[in-house]
Structure 1
């Protein structure tokens, strides 16, 4: 295919450099994720596999200290960046916008340093209490199914590395909001490759759950380079900017942040709690089966979501310009592609599980042993497919710096958490995934898409002369 033809295809699917690298990174994760999954199956025992994913689920508790601020930072920064530009690595443009962006950076950095410290202490203790209660051993060693799982040291190291990375999140979020996605996604693509090779080496070398620490170390090094190295002049400009105009934290950040924080907390209960309950009720081996399936489907959804999620800054700019027709054109095109990718990915995964269960040999038998059955995978896949339209709707609405999803999110995620935990406790993995499908398809997606439909009609309403109606103007001023 010629370069010109490739560019035509890229334009047809609304692909720019930022999206290309983001999708490439997600694609790499999907491809290498299969290698990682195979190494987990063949290099870890069933019990170690359960601990591996329990670590991941517990790390998700960072939402309780981070409180979703990074999403707000991206949206607020994108609105200010519409009046700014980068010249030789420094920020130039409207003095008012530059001052406001600098104030956003200062407050966000202070917040995240505090949040990172709280995270390291609180989550370390939570993990020790959780795993100690599982093992019943004062020496932090468990002996199950003839496998010794030493979790204490890797757990503490993993939490520390993740906490340090959390402290750098505000700066990378500002960069994303300031139109630097192409560079960031390009770097993260290579960072993802390096992380994969580190994880593979540690798994193949018999280091078990320490592989997660290797991955976290690579991410920390990469984020440090971006924030403190590659973009040091960018942030020096913001640090040196006098605070003549500041972001009103209470009126511009908190109203959206606290809503995202509450929703994030309930989302953790809806998506992470089920695995931890299975770990406690049915043991690490069963939790490991669920975790492997959850990881593959989450990776598929992440790759599909990146197609539209990388456009948050673009959406923010178009909204600031009130170019709603172009906003909708891009959104609907990207939404169709994103949902299609989820459909294709989940179908491929389900077919793969069918194959390994139908054809018996030492290789397929080993894989089938570490995964749930076909029925369970199919049910869970349907839940992820049903969730994708809601994800797209959520990104669109939040790009307006508003978030009307609070009540719907609390209701839907509470229902999902209750269904997955209660049915999972009684029926195991199949009960948990059935609860997820019922909650997503029957409650969450109808509510979220309905909110998107109503708010879009209100906020983008125009009169016959092309001006915003009074109702829409009032909404814009909220």
Structure 2
């Protein structure tokens, strides 16, 4: 039962998308475009275009102030949304203590949002491997302590306590390393040249924001709907399955996302042949890896159920969705890997051609999830999601093909 609460927590915490509005992704791209005009002297300083240096400084100042405000608003948004949802749909589960864990998670999620622009900024500066490494360490620490606390009987307190411990890793990494000196160096580079949010960022951001918000209704609505209609046990199975599948997607997609500063730099220099060569190679490698890992996951669940492997007198395989519904979720993950790669390539041009597709798919998936989930349960919900993802895949392919040709020919 608590597994359902655990994963539904995650789905509701994802409403931070409505506050962050895709700005972290935009920061990385803007920083990468400006960095293309600079030359690094060492790890904490650079030289080159005075205009680009000043624009970087203004961007850093703006994003830190912006995220400080929205993190404050996010805390109250999470607190209200969580208490309203669980008070209504979890009122019969009086034995589950979710109030304090939810408060702690709301705090740590809001604090983490305050750090996200700094990490995005460092990625744009070319520190992709370092940021990826610290994020990986953070995830390993959080997962390890979640498991430890679960085994020690902390129940729903396991995730909040692990979140507190993992959160502290990033600020320590920034303060104790050379990142602090680098950020101070950039902060002091301010001059008359500044990034104009209204004219430069907002026209791009509102499109990205709508696309990201649509993504919430595509990827995060499963657990709350199942929690409300079929209870925490089924929601827990969906949550466990999605957790593994999303981890696979993020892991394999990192082959593409870590190249964003490189893609953006090549676009800024109009080196399109090198861009396409690198992108195609990266996409093929990451897609093959994605297919292999997804297949391995499906085989693993088959063996867990075939040999009836148990932990704590509970069949471990039963914590996941039935095979058919699971396959209906696995196929979209592979297709979404390619969709996300194409979208990343296009967005590195500081344009958002995916707006209409994202909004349309978000609305269709929202309607499909609610209607099919209510009438046909998890089977209908997952089948509808797979069909819509296939449609979205074909649609995205034509956007990718046409926009790439249009943008590169006009320049």
Structure 1 and Structure 2 fold alike (TM over 0.5): yes
Deviation at 1:362, TM superposition (A): 4.2
The answer as to whether partners of 1:387 and 1:441 remain within 8 angstroms in 2 is no
CA RMSD of aligned residues (A): 1.6
Deviation at 1:331, TM superposition (A): 0.5
| Number of the residue aligned with 2:84 | 129
Separation of aligned partners in 2, 1:376 and 1:259: 32
Aligned 1:322-361 pairs, distance under 5 A: 322-360=270-308
Separation of aligned partners in 2, 1:194 and 1:294: 20
Separation of aligned partners in 1, 2:91 and 2:309: 38
| Number of the residue aligned with 1:44 | none
| Number of the residue aligned with 1:311 | 259
* Deviation digits for residues 132-166 of structure 1 (CA, Å, limit 9, x no counterpart): 012337xxxx33xxxx2100001001110110111
Aligned 1:255-404 pairs, distance under 5 A: 255-360=203-308, 362=310, 366-404=315-353
User: 3-state DSSP class of the match of 2:53?
Assistant: helix
| Number of the residue aligned with 1:67 | 21
Separation of aligned partners in 2, 1:362 and 1:102: 55
Separation of aligned partners in 2, 1:108 and 1:227: 17
Q: Is 1:52 aligned with 2:6?
A: yes
**Structure 1 residue corresponding to 2:155, chosen from 196, 200, 208:** 208
The answer as to whether partners of 2:305 and 2:315 remain within 8 angstroms in 1 is no
Query: If the length of structure 2 is used for normalisation, what is the TM-score?
Result: 0.95
Deviation at 1:216, TM superposition (A): 2.1
Aligned 1:1-80 pairs, distance under 5 A: 47-80=1-34
| Number of the residue aligned with 1:82 | 36
Deviation at 1:361, TM superposition (A): 5.3
| Number of the residue aligned with 2:395 | 447
Moved more, 164-173 or 78-87: 78-87
| Number of the residue aligned with 2:361 | 412
Deviation at 1:365, TM superposition (A): 6.1
Separation of aligned partners in 2, 1:341 and 1:454: 27
| Number of the residue aligned with 1:172 | 119
Q: Is 1:160 aligned with 2:160?
A: no
Q: Is 1:218 aligned with 2:165?
A: yes
| Number of the residue aligned with 1:193 | 140
User: Which is greater in Rg?
Assistant: 1
The answer as to whether partners of 2:44 and 2:185 remain within 8 angstroms in 1 is no
The answer as to whether partners of 1:420 and 1:434 remain within 8 angstroms in 2 is no
Moved more, 348-357 or 202-211: 348-357
* Deviation digits for residues 159-193 of structure 1 (CA, Å, limit 9, x no counterpart): 10110111111111110000111222233333333
| Number of the residue aligned with 1:4 | none
Deviation at 1:90, TM superposition (A): 2.9
Deviation at 1:378, TM superposition (A): 1.2
Separation of aligned partners in 2, 1:71 and 1:206: 38
User: 3-state DSSP class of the match of 2:352?
Assistant: coil
The answer as to whether partners of 1:106 and 1:239 remain within 8 angstroms in 2 is yes
Aligned 1:83-122 pairs, distance under 5 A: 83-84=37-38, 85=40, 87-122=42-77
* Deviation digits for residues 39-94 of structure 1 (CA, Å, limit 9, x no counterpart): xxxxxxxx100000011000100010111100000000001111222525234332
Q: Is 1:234 aligned with 2:194?
A: no
Number of equivalences: 408
The answer as to whether partners of 2:149 and 2:155 remain within 8 angstroms in 1 is yes
Q: 1:88 to 1:176 in 2, by over 3 A?
A: closer
